[in-house]
Amino acid sequence: MWRLRTVRLLVPAAVLGLLLSTVLLAQPAPAPNTTGQASPAIPLRPIAELREQALKATPPVESGTFRKPLLLELGVGPDNPIHLDIHYATANNFLGTPVYTAPRAFLQVPAAVALLRVALRLEEQGYGLLIFDGYRPWYVTKIFWDATPPALHEYVANPAEGSRHNRGCAVDLTLYDLKSGQPVSMPSSYDEMTERAHSNYSGGTKQERKHREILREAMMREGFEPIPEEWWHYDYKDWREYPVLNLGFDVLPVIDGFAEGTTLPKILKRLEPEFTQEAREHKYQGEVRLEVVIREDGTPMVVAVLKGAKYGLTKAAIASVQQWRFNPATRDGKPVAIRTMMEVSFHLY
């Protein structure tokens, strides 16, 4: 007896409506209350003075070949489990003053898609994601470094090297309860510069450590790595492939829209018949993961098989994907190529 229980495809043209709704709305809905904030550190010098100097400074010169940056704005749309609470757009941060002009968050497209996969998995467990920060202009990293006492420099990135936030591949976040809308308890507050913030801190309550582990497991499954000093900070696996950026939010290279048409139900309906026969014949159960570039004209190109499959199902998946057509993403009204992931899951019983 067999049954194809789930066929799950995670692609921009299908599921990025959740994320892209924030591009179209360009503003966050009211976010849940956040965890308590640590007392602000006393800046070594006035923030206005540090900002002026940072804006005049030059980011580090990098060598090598990098991917062309293309970011996606995160935020809240209808039924979206990703909410925003951008502390750096308020005085509720370790400096005690705003450093962003607007409460917005961005990630490189592959990282943003991976984050949506995290959110979809956590939704099944009753949690949503609350975003504190994403892409961060380099000059803000310099402000943080120059304002922070040297004894606490382990908690801020060195501008001489650039931050993974500057590359659009790091995100600060926590969980919130979908029923109550309230953030869950964690061993420390966000941006707290103490041992309690460490990702392996053994103190706190059992429930706080459990929440931290739920977040870590979900993030690592989709290619995000934690850092020792901060339980809320995660780096996307491809961060080395992107350059340090020093652009304001209003001039970032951001996807600004998808054409209407391709929806997840339509793709699933199209996909299911192509795999059920092979799955039935080989009693296959597992996942096929493909990294795909969707070209400017909407045609897909499979560039890597990130998780293999037996019995030729990977080959079938590639052949099927290459026949699909997607509505292209746009930047400034012009079509752009995007690199993303497709995941097909089979569960037979």
Q: What is the pTM of this model?
A: 0.73
Secondary structure element (H or E) that encloses residue 286, with its range: strand 286-294
Residues 130/85, Cβ–Cβ less than 8 Å? yes
Residue after which a domain boundary falls, among 251, 283, 302 = 251
Token match 């597992």: residue? 286
- Close Cβ partners of 124 (under 8 Å, ≥ 6 residues apart): none
- Which residue in 136, 112, 143, 132 sits closest to 23, CA to CA? 112
Query: Is residue 213 flagged as an active site residue?
Result: no
**Residue 181: inside a domain:** yes
Clarify whether residues 205 and 116 are in a common domain: yes
The answer to whether residue 114 scores a pLDDT higher than 90 is no
137-167 per-position pLDDT tens digit: 999 999 999 999 999 999 999 999 999 999 9
What stretch of H or E contains 197? none
Is 317 or 103 the better-scoring residue by pLDDT?
103
Instruction: Tally the C-alpha atoms within 13 A of residue 23's C-alpha that lie toward its C-beta.
Output: 24
Are 69 and 157 contained in the same domain? yes
**Residue 241 and residue 105 in one domain:** yes
Residue 334 domain flag: yes
Residue 10 belongs to a domain = no
Instruction: Among 251, 279, 296, give the residue marking a domain's end.
Output: 251
pLDDT in tens, 7-44: 333 433 333 343 333 332 233 333 333 455 555 566 77
Q: What is the mean pLDDT of the chain?
A: 77
Does residue 169 sit in the same domain as residue 219?
Answer: yes
Burial 6-34 (b: 16+ CB within 10 A, else e): ebbbbbbbbbbbbbbbbbeeeebeebbeb
pLDDT at 113: 79
Judge contact between 320 and 271, C-beta under 8 A.
yes
Whose CA is closest to 74, among 13, 29, 121? 29
Residue labelled with tokens 């940056």? 69
Same domain, 48 and 79: yes
- Cβ pair 343, 288 in contact under 8 A: yes
Residues 51 and 107 in one domain: yes
In contact, 2 and 341? CB cutoff 8 Å: no
Would 3 be classed as within a structural domain?
no
Does the residue 6 lie in any domain?
no
Catalytic pick among 192, 230, 287, 343: 230
Same domain? 87 vs 70: yes
- CB neighbours (10 Å) of residue 187? 21
Rounded mean pLDDT, 198-224: 96
Residues 310, 288: Cα–Cα separation, whole Å: 9
User: What is the per-residue pLDDT for 313?
Assistant: 60
Nearest-CA neighbor of 278 among 231, 310, 239? 310
Residues 164-178: tens digit of each pLDDT:
999 999 999 999 999
Name the DSSP letter for residue 269: H
Q: How many domains does the chain have?
A: 2
Does residue 82 register a pLDDT over 60? yes
Which residue did the predictor score with more confidence, 87 or 271?
A: 87
Backbone φ and ψ for 189, nearest 5 degrees, come out as -80, 165
> How confident is the model at residue 349, as a pLDDT?
33
Q: Which percentage of the chain shows pLDDT scores above 90?
A: 48
Query: Pairing relation of β-strands 334-336 and 329-331?
Result: antiparallel
- Distance CA(158)–CA(138), nearest Å, equals 10
CATH number, domain containing residue 83: 3.30.1380.10
Do 115 and 263 belong to one domain? Answer: no
Decide which of 230, 251, 272 is a domain's last residue: 251
Q: Is residue 8 part of a domain?
A: no
* Of the candidates 67, 65, 156, 151, the residue with the CA atom closest to the CA atom of residue 110: 67
Return the bridge partners of 121, or none: none
The pLDDT confidence band at residue 198, using thresholds 50, 70 and 90, is very high
